[in-house]
Structures are given as structure tokens and as C-alpha cells.
Structure 1
Amino acid sequence: QPVYSSISVRVKNPAQVQLVEDAIKKKGFGTFSILDASRGLQQVFKVLYAFLGIFGSLALIVSSIGIVNTLVMAILERRREIGIMKAIGASDSDVKKLFFAEAGAMGILGGVVGVALGWAIGQVINFGTNIWLKSQSFPPDHFWAVPWWLVAVAILFSLIVSLISGLYPAGRAARLDPVQALRYE
């Protein structure tokens, strides 16, 4: 009498995979289906998304600190200018607006440069992938495509992060006492 270590079962309707798998398990046999493989793959992607989220958050924090640092250094280097502006009548809100404008410009520039670099990297990946696909006799495809709405959201997000990061430095510049600023320069 022959002994089999495994058998393959195919279903005509993919919606019945789970039902057939459950019926086989009820008879005391172990099973492995495409659904199990799919669940394992989903777990891998969940972990990957978590790591990407962590790295993205760290990049966001580091860039925010960089913006704050840049603006604080600009305040320290331009204390005299801020003091003169306030001495000749510039209000605190005028000084805040100036530093918010600088933060916004950094955000827009950073967003545009980031989108451009991302697009360029995507094109290189597409090019390399298509070379590999051709070598395997597959038709070329366009894997890394970004919708225009996502480009706009990325630039807007970078602007918002920059403006939020500019809150503290702008407030610090606005609170600068013109007499103190002019005295030490």
C-alpha cells in the first residue's frame, strides 16, 4: 500500500479555498493554502510599513529640528537687523511674518527638491527594473509612478511642517528687545 507525504488539492472557485481547507482540517490533516501564504505576506508588509513609518517619523523630527536650528541661528546672526527694524517701528507681528516667510520658503523649497529627487530615483528604478524584465522576456512596465495629487500633498505637508517648526524661532525674534539687540552688536 503506497504512502503519500502530501497531496495537492485545487478548487475551481477561489472563493471556496477556505471551505475546502476547513473540510480537510476536520479530517485531521494539515493544510497550507495560498491564503496562508497571503497572510504571511501581509504580516511582512505590516512590519515593513511600521519600519517605514518609524524612519519617516525620525526624518520628520530631524528635519524639524534642522529648520528650528537654522531659524534660531538666523535670529542670532541678524539680531542687529531685527533690533534696527523694531527701533524704526516694525511690530512684533512684522518680525514674526518675516521669519514665517523664511520658514515657508524653506518648506516649499525642501518639498520641491524632495519631490524632484524622489521622481529621479523612481525613474532610475523604473529603468533598471525594465532592463531586468527585458532580460527575463517580460514586457516593460512603469512601476514607480506618483499621482499629481500626492506631489501637491507632499509639498503642502512640507510647508506646514516648516511653518510649525518656525513658531518658536519667530516668537523668539519678535520678543527680541531692540535696545539689547543694538547694545551688544
Structure 2
Amino acid sequence: MQRRSLAEILTGAVVLLVALGFLIYAVSSSGRSFASSDGIELSARFDRIDGLQPGADVRIGGVKVGSVVDQRIDPLTFLAVLRLRVNGDLKLPTDTSAEITSESLLGGKYVALVPGGEEKVLANGDQITITQSAVSLESLLGRFIFSVTELASSRSEEERNNNEDAKPAPAPAAPRGGAPAR
């Protein structure tokens, strides 16, 4: 009985070590880490951040250079405020812009940074002032459907009006009483 429980304990320990190994591999290959990484923290304000979550990527030219740390609403302006952690070795100009974009049509959102041309660089705690909010796919699709419906109804109205104008005038009715008019 003692031998069997020792074997079960060793088997359980091996399974836990393998699971821990997979977890470490998954975290390291995803670009995330357990400890807070060195870097500078920046903030940016947006009208809307649809679908963007804390932990989302911050990219420059499609390359991950940081992540979204936090999001909140400014109670005075009602703008969404994002805190971004970006690699500290990057020297981002003060006129760098930030935009929220999609990975694909159905993919997740990320923050794309576009460095400017200023000589001054952003420091830890600075704010990115040039921002472009997320574009809502549902809103664009709704506008498209509305405009197509409007166009179709205006065309059918034009065709109806043109058909009524093109009809010949009705022939005069024959007099009643059967005798031809002289």
C-alpha cells in the first residue's frame, strides 16, 4: 500500500512539472512575461476603443514594442484613457501618433504607433496627443446598408415617375347612347 501511494505521488509530480513547463513555454512564446518589463509608460486619449483590452499589443510597423497596461474613462471629458508600456530603448518623438486598428476583419484590436519627426522624445509618463479612435465595423456596415437602401428607393421612385410621364394620353370615351357623334 505504501509503495502504491509513493508511485501515485511521483506520477502526480511529473504531470505537474510537465504542465508547468508547458505554461512557461506558452507565456515566453506569446511575448508576455510574469515580471513587469522595463520600459516607459505613456498615456493616450481616445473617443472610442471598441474591443481593445488590457494586454493588447502596441506595435510600430507591425512589430510588437509594448502592450496596453490599463484603460479607464476620464470623468471630466468622458474620453477613454489608455496606459501603454513601450520598450525603453525606443526614442519616440513627441509628435508620435497612436491609432487603434484591427489585426484583420474579425481579428483583435491593437494600438499602432506612428513615430513623427520631432527631435524631442517622449519620456516616462508623457502623453501621446495625436490619436485616432477605433473604427466600428458595425457602424460602417450600417451606413453602407442605409445608403444602398436610399439609393435603391430613389432609383425606383425615378423610374416610377419616368414611366408615368411616358404613358400616352387615354383615348376619348365614345358618347353614350350608341349614335355616332356628328
Alignment TM-score > 0.5, same fold: no
Whichever structure has more strand as a proportion of its residues is: 2
Question: Computing the radius of gyration over CA atoms, which structure comes out larger, 1 or 2?
Answer: 2
Question: Which structure is higher in RCO with an 8 Å CA cutoff and minimum separation 6?
Answer: 1
**Interval containing the TM-score (normalised by the shorter chain):** under 0.3
